[in-house]
Amino acid sequence: MSTLNNLDTITNKRLAIYLIIIGLLFAVDSFLELSIIYKLWPVITLILGIGFIGIFVKRKARDALFLAIGAYLILFSFLALYCNFTTWRILVHIWPLFIMFFGCALIIQFFFHNENRFVLFLGLLLSFLSVFFILVFSVSGQYWWSIFILVGLSILLSGIGK
C-alpha cells in the first residue's frame, strides 16, 4: 500500500511541476506580448489524444473508445493549430472536417481493433459525406449528385455486401 501512496505522491508532484511550467510559459508570453503560447494550445489536445492512444495500447482489455477519442483529438488539434496560425474564419468552408474526423476515427478503429465491416462502412460514409458537404456548400451546389457516388463507394470499399 505504501508503494501506491508513493506513486500518487510522485504523480502529484509531476502534475504540480507541469502546471507551474505551463503557467510560467503563459506569464512570459503575456508579459512579452508574444501570443505564441496562446496559439499553441492545441498541442495540449494533441498530447491528450496521444495519451488516449497510449492507454489503448497499454491496456490488456483494449477498449476501442480510447483509440477513437485519441484519433479524433489528434486530428482536431492539427486543424486548430492551422486555424490559430491562419484564421478561424476558414471554418465557414471547412466545418465538414469535424465529420470527417469522426469517420477517420471509425476507420482507424476498424483497422486496429475491430473487424466489423459496418464500422468501416460508417467511417467511410461519414468521411465521404464530409467531402460531399464541402463540394455542395463550399464549392458549388451543382455537385449534389456526388452523394450517390460517395455512398456507393462507401459500400464497395467497406465490402459490407459480402
Please state, rounded to an integer, the average pLDDT across all residues of the chain: 84
0.75 surpassed by pTM = no
Give 99-138 pLDDT, tens digit per residue: 999 999 999 888 887 778 898 999 999 999 998 888 888 7
H-state helical runs in 33-142: 36-39, 42-58, 64-85, 91-94, 97-112, 117-133
How far, in Å, CA of 136 to CA of 8, rounded? 53
What pLDDT score does 153 carry? Answer: 86
Alpha carbon dihedral 134, 138, 140, 142, in 10-degree steps, equals 40
Residue 67: helix, strand or coil by DSSP? helix
What pLDDT score does 41 carry? Answer: 85
Give 42-97 pLDDT, tens digit per residue: 988 999 999 999 888 888 777 888 888 999 999 999 999 999 989 999 898 889 99
132 close to 159: Cβ distance less than 8 angstroms: no
